[in-house]
């Protein structure tokens, strides 16, 4: 199965951010370059859905996501 790759510019457009922010996401290991400076479209799409949810619902969603993801308190 072939993987679809996106450029930094295409990724920025999909995430509705600037290309500099995409580079920051890569530097922070939230996105990974796959081939040179290409990004996996599936990974970008997953992040885009999360960012859209956060834009729509704000901080309450972030708190909910953090609470579900944090298993150290159990």
How would you label 10-45 residue by residue, b for 16+ Cβ within 10 Å and e otherwise?
bbbebbeeeeeebbebbeeeebeeeeeebbbbebbe
Structure confidence at residue 73 (pLDDT): 45
- Tens-digit pLDDT profile for residues 52-67: 888 887 766 666 666 6
pTM (2 d.p.): 0.73
**Residue ranges per structural domain of the chain:** 5-69
Give the number of other CB atoms < 10 A from CB of residue 4: 11
């Amino acid at each position: 199965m072939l993987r679809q790759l996106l450029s930094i510019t295409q990724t920025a457009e999909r995430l509705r951010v600037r290309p500099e922010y995409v580079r920051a996401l890569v530097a922070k290991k939230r996105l990974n370059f796959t081939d040179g400076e290409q990004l996996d479209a599936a990974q970008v799409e997953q992040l885009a859905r999360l960012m859209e949810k956060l834009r729509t619902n704000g901080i309450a969603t972030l708190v909910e996501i953090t609470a579900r993801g944090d298993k150290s308190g159990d």
